[in-house]
């Protein structure tokens, strides 16, 4: 069964089309209207092995908040739909990624229950044309729609570009491992509850 999903999201603030292939080659075609965000989503695709085709337009004449948040939500939802009932996935994963002087860690549980822990701090208010505070909003939206318990922490670093890029790369590796199929458990859902679907329950 191919793990592919395609979504369209349209509001008064944004219009987004997104297609993901979880078992791809990390191929990507990304246009968000925000150059730095394009670069980060390309990193996510490349290092997770997930093919991501994303085209988004939003009310950038106001700022990038709505566009950034809705893109995180759409990518997370697309990955969740492609995972279906999450049968056979490893579910838990973590990754450390260095980038020059910087080291970041991401830990993920595809539990169906969204929760973000964010321990990333910047010394600049902007990266490229993007407000640095919006990265937390992107990760929050992704966690919510993916149904993922997500812990993102920059352990140390100086260069702000390195800090956030190492976080995206660590996220990519964590997702890659968490969505991979355990061959001996491929017919089982990795939960004593028997489900990993986000339905609002604890």
Q: pTM, whole model, 2 decimals?
A: 0.94
What's the pLDDT tens digit per position in 2-26?
999 999 999 999 999 999 999 999 9
- What's the mean pLDDT in 177-190? 83
70 and 14 Cβ atoms separated by less than 8 Å: yes
Instruction: Enumerate the domain spans of the chain.
Output: 4-185
For 135-180, what is each residue's pLDDT tens digit? 999 999 999 999 999 999 999 999 999 999 999 999 999 999 999 9
- Report whether 56 contacts 15 (CB < 8 A): yes
Residue where the block lists tokens 């199929």:
181
Measured distance CA(140)–CA(118) in Å, rounded: 9
Closest CA to 44 of 158, 181, 179, 174: 174
Which CATH architecture group holds 4-185?
Answer: 2-Layer Sandwich (3.30)
For residue 26, give the DSSP letter. S
């Amino acid at each position: 069964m191919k793990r592919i999903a395609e979504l369209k999201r349209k509001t008064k603030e944004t219009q987004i089309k997104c297609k993901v292939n979880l078992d791809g080659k990390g191929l990507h075609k990304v246009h968000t209207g925000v150059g730095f965000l394009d670069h980060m989503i390309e990193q996510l695709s490349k290092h997770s092995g997930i093919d991501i085709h994303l085209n988004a337009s939003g009310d950038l004449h106001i700022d990038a908040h709505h566009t950034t948040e809705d893109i995180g939500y759409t990518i997370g939802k697309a990955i969740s739909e492609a995972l279906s009932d999450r049968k056979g996935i490893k579910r838990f994963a973590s990754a450390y990624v260095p980038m020059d002087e910087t080291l970041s860690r991401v830990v993920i549980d595809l539990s169906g229950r969204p929760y973000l822990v964010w321990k990333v701090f910047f010394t600049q208010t902007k990266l490229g044309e993007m407000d640095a505070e919006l990265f937390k909003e992107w990760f929050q939206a992704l966690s919510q729609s993916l149904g993922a318990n997500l812990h993102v922490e920059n352990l140390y670093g100086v260069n702000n570009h390195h800090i956030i890029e190492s976080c995206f790369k660590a996220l990519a590796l964590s997702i890659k491992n968490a969505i991979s199929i355990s061959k001996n458990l491929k017919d089982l859902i990795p939960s004593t509850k028997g489900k990993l679907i986000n339905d609002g329950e604890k």
